[in-house]
Structure 1
């Protein structure tokens, strides 16, 4: 059976924002059976030789599918989608658009947004100018995404795909509401993704099973 290495305990600040949620959401959408191997982050269970063999960067998530071991949430989602035949089109051209937007989410959008989040977590006033630069960078990409989403329900195809899991989870890390306020299409898109029953079930189960440490 597919094993997913995800958190069973994580520091309180990160709880609810961890990348194993992307895989848990996809598995719920796909209705794929799996076994969760819970990792205690505060107890340093990521920092072992055994875990380093699964992921040399000692991060969550990782899957082990009968010996096929993968890390990186984007790579895992593509693998699961192609294996299940769900949340990704069967034709090569449309599949390539989904892969394209997976990379957009985890590269163009996630880098500035995660950096802003980390600065806000640390409350380091010395990073004010750097934060302003990151906000400008984020707004540039959010503005372009706003135009792209005009008249579109989802980001890569007409149907919900793994690209939407990645994109909406990246956008959901935004805690400074002023960043999203100007972008109606982006906000509506995010809400459209996060009202899906599979996401609601996933996040509810996560909070029941993942302790804050």
Structure 2
């Protein structure tokens, strides 16, 4: 059976925002059976030689599908979509658009949001110029994303796909200050529309019931 390595305990700030949620959401949408292997981050479960064989960078999530090991959340959800034939079109053109937007979520939208979030966690108040740059970068990305959503409900195709799981999670977990997204009502509406899906609600409820704050 498919085994998913996700958190059982993680620091309180990250709880509810971790990247295993991307995989768990995809599995809930796809209705695929799996076994969950809970990992205790404060107890250093990720820092063992055994786990490094699954995830070279000692990160969650990873999967073991009857001996086929995949790490990195975007790679995992793309693999699951292809395996199940769900949340990804069967035609080459549609699949290409989904993969395009999976990469965009990870490589274009997430970096400025993650950089800003990390700076706000760690800055001592002397990084005003750095923060101004990151805010400008984030605004440029969100401006272009707002334009993209002018006549679209979903990011890659007419229907919900794994690209929407990745993009929505990036937007919901990467933006801690709603003032950043407020000028972009199309992006905010897209995020909220995807987060209203029953499969996400079941996923986050189960996660919060299971995962402890360390």
TM range (shorter): over 0.9
Find the aligned partners of 2:120 and 2:13 in 1 and give their Cα distance: 11
Aligned position for 2:209: 208
1:135-193, CA deviations, whole angstroms, 9 ceiling, x for partnerless residues? 10010010000000011000000000000000000000201111100001101100110
Matched, 1:53 2:53: yes
Aligned position for 1:126: 126
Aligned position for 1:183: 184
Deviation of the 1:37 alpha carbon: 0.3
1:62-117, CA deviations, whole angstroms, 9 ceiling, x for partnerless residues? 00000110001110011000000000000001100000000000010101101111
Unaligned runs of at least 5 residues, structure 2: none
1:25-56, CA deviations, whole angstroms, 9 ceiling, x for partnerless residues? 00000000000000000000100000011111
Find the aligned partners of 1:39 and 1:124 in 2 and give their Cα distance: 32
Matched, 1:163 2:163: yes
Q: How many residues in Structure 1 have an aligned counterpart in Structure 2? A: 213
Find the aligned partners of 1:186 and 1:56 in 2 and give their Cα distance: 34
Matched, 1:199 2:207: no
- TM-score if structure 1 supplies the norm length? 0.98
What is the SS of the residue equivalent to 2:77? helix
Deviation of the 1:118 alpha carbon: 1.3
Deviation of the 1:123 alpha carbon: 4.4
Unaligned runs of at least 5 residues, structure 1: none
- TM-score if structure 2 supplies the norm length? 0.98
Aligned position for 1:42: 42
CA RMSD of aligned residues (A): 0.7
Structure 1 segments, 4+ long, off by >3 Å, are none
Matched, 1:70 2:74: no
Mapping for residues 80-99 of structure 1, pairs under 5 Å: 80-99=80-99
